[in-house]
Amino acid sequence: MHALRFLLRRFVRRGSLGVIDHTGRRHDFGVAGTHPSVTVRLHNPALYRRLVLHPTLHVGRAYVDGTLTIEEGQLSDFLKLLLINEDLSAKGRAGDIKRRLEEMARFAAVINLPRRARRNVHHHYDHPADFYSCFLDEDMQYSCAYFASEGVSLEEAQEAKKRHIAAKLDIQPGQRVLDIGCGFGGMALFLARNYGVNVTGITLSTEQLKIARERAAKQGLQRLVDFQLEDYRRIRGVFDRIVSVGMFEHVGRPHYRQFFARVNSLLAEDGVALLHTIGRSQPPSPINVWIRQNIFPGAYLPSLSQLAPVIEKEDLWLTDFENLRLHYAATLHEWNQRFQSNRERVRGLNPAIYDERFCRMWGFYLQACEAGFRHSGLTVFQLQLAKKVDTLPITRGYMLAEERRLQSEGPASGTRAAGA
C-alpha cells in the first residue's frame, strides 16, 4: 500500500479521493471537501501493486471483478476524478514523451488487416440484436446522436443525426450511395426511404447484416438497398456519395492512407463523402488499454493532426468540418440509463454470457466513455470531402434548408424521394 499511497499523493491534485484498504484502514488524497469526491474500497492486497504498475488497465479490471467497489459517491464521480487528474498529469514535456512511447509500444495492436478486422468486429458487434435493443434507440443507431435542442429524446436525437448527415451529403435523385460500416442499416434505409437512391451498405458483422437485411425486407426497400458482408478494401464500383458513421474508429492508424485512398477511388469525380468518427481534441495517443482489450480490440481514435495529412495526400477537398463535442457524452448517458434499467433483461438473454460480471463491464465501458467525452478530450468529427472545389454550394445554407425539409415533411414524403 505504501507505493500506491505515494502515487496517489502525487496524482490527485483536484477533488478528493478516499481509499479503504483491505484491512479497513482509510487513506485520503487530494483536497478534502472539494469535488469530485469519492471513496473506494480495495478488497485484495494484490491490487495495490497492479494499480501502481498499470492503473489504466487494472482500475477497470478491479471494478469488473469486484475487488474495487465504490463506497461513497458514484462510479461517474470516480471516473471524473481519475480523468481530470490524468489530464493534469499528461500536460508538459513528460506527458508528451509518455504519449509518444505509448504510441510506439501499441502500434502493432492497431494493424487491422482484413482477417483481424473481422475478428475485432465479431468481438463487439456480433452480440444478438436483442442485447443492443436493451439500450439503443428504436432504429438501433449505435453511434453518436445529435441533440439539436434541450430535452429531446434519444430517438429524436438519432433521427436528427441522420437528417444532419443526409443534409451534408447533398443527395440528388438517381445517385448511388455507399455506406461503409452500415451497422444495423438505419442510415442506409433512411437515405433510400427519403431520397429513392440506391444504397450499398457494407459491414463485417454477421449479426448486423442479418438484421439490416430483415429490416430492408420489412420496409419494402430491398430494391434500393443492398447490404453486404464486405471489407471496405474489397468493395468495387463508383459511387456518387459515400457515408461512413462510427466505423473509422476501427480502421487503425496504420491504414489511414489506405482508407482515404479507397474513398478517393470509389468516389465519382463530382462525388461527396461524409466521415463521422470519434476523435481527439488532443495530441495523438492510443485508446485506454482496458477499452482496447475488453471492448474495442484494434480501435484507434484520430487527432486532426493525423487526418489532415492523409486527406491532403489523396488530393481531397475538406469542404466542411464540424466538431460535435458533447453530443456523444449525452448519447452515452442515455445508453447507460437504459442499460442499467434493463440489466435483468440483459441477464435473461443468456445467463451464461450476460452475467453480473458482464453487466459491470458494460456499465463501466459506457460510463468511462461518457467521462472521456466530458473530461478527457474525446469528441466527434464530421468531415465532408469532395474531389472538386466546386462540387458543393459555397455557403452552408443548403444543409440547414434540407434538414428543415426532412424534419417538416417526414419520411418518404419529400419531393426528392418521389424522384422529382
Closest CA to 60 of 376, 365, 349, 404: 365
How high is the pLDDT of residue 175?
97
How high is the pLDDT of residue 416?
42
Annotation says 134 is catalytic = no
CA atoms of 359 and 347, how far apart (whole Å): 8
What's the pTM value of the predicted model, to 2 decimals? 0.92
Q: What is the dihedral of CA 239, 186, 182, 392, to 10 degrees?
A: 30
How high is the pLDDT of residue 91?
67
- Site of grid cell 481534441: 281
DSSP string for residues in 140-153: ---S-----STT--
The residue annotated as part of the active site, out of 134, 144, 182, 369, is: 369
Spell out the domains of the chain, with CATH numbers in brackets: 2-91 (3.30.1050), 114-409 (3.40.50.150)
Terminal-to-terminal C-alpha distance of the chain:
72
Q: What is the helix (H) or strand (E) element at residue 322, kind and residue range?
A: strand 317-323
| Number of residues assigned to the chain | 420
How high is the pLDDT of residue 75?
97
Handedness of CA 154, 155, 157, 161 (dihedral sign): positive
DSSP 3-state percent helix, strand, coil across the chain (nearest 5): 50, 20, 35
How high is the pLDDT of residue 102?
62
Task: For residue 303, give the DSSP letter.
Answer: B
CA atoms of 290 and 79, how far apart (whole Å): 13
Strand-by-strand arrangement of the 267-280 sheet: 225-229, 198-203, 176-180, 239-245, 267-280, 378-386, 317-323
Q: What is the pLDDT along the chain (420 residues), one digit of tens a residue?
A: 889 999 999 999 999 999 999 999 999 999 998 999 999 999 999 999 999 999 999 999 999 999 999 999 999 999 999 999 998 887 665 556 555 656 655 666 778 788 888 888 888 888 999 999 999 999 999 999 999 998 999 999 999 999 999 999 999 999 999 999 999 999 999 999 999 999 999 999 999 999 999 999 999 999 999 999 999 999 999 999 999 999 999 999 999 999 999 999 999 999 999 999 999 998 898 889 999 999 999 999 999 999 999 999 999 999 999 999 999 999 999 999 999 999 999 999 999 999 999 999 999 999 999 999 999 999 999 999 999 999 999 999 999 999 999 999 865 433 344 333
Please give the grid coordinates belonging to residue 282.
Answer: 488532443
How high is the pLDDT of residue 413?
37
CA atoms of 285 and 100, how far apart (whole Å): 7
Alpha helices in 126-181 (DSSP H): 129-132, 154-169
Q: pLDDT tens digits, residue range 293-307?
A: 999 999 999 999 999
CA atoms of 249 and 296, how far apart (whole Å): 9
What letter represents residue 324's amino acid? L
356-375 and 327-341 are packed helices; what angle lies between their axes, rounded to 10 degrees? 160
Q: pLDDT tens digits, residue range 54-101?
A: 999 999 999 999 999 999 999 999 999 999 999 888 766 555 655 565
How high is the pLDDT of residue 420?
30
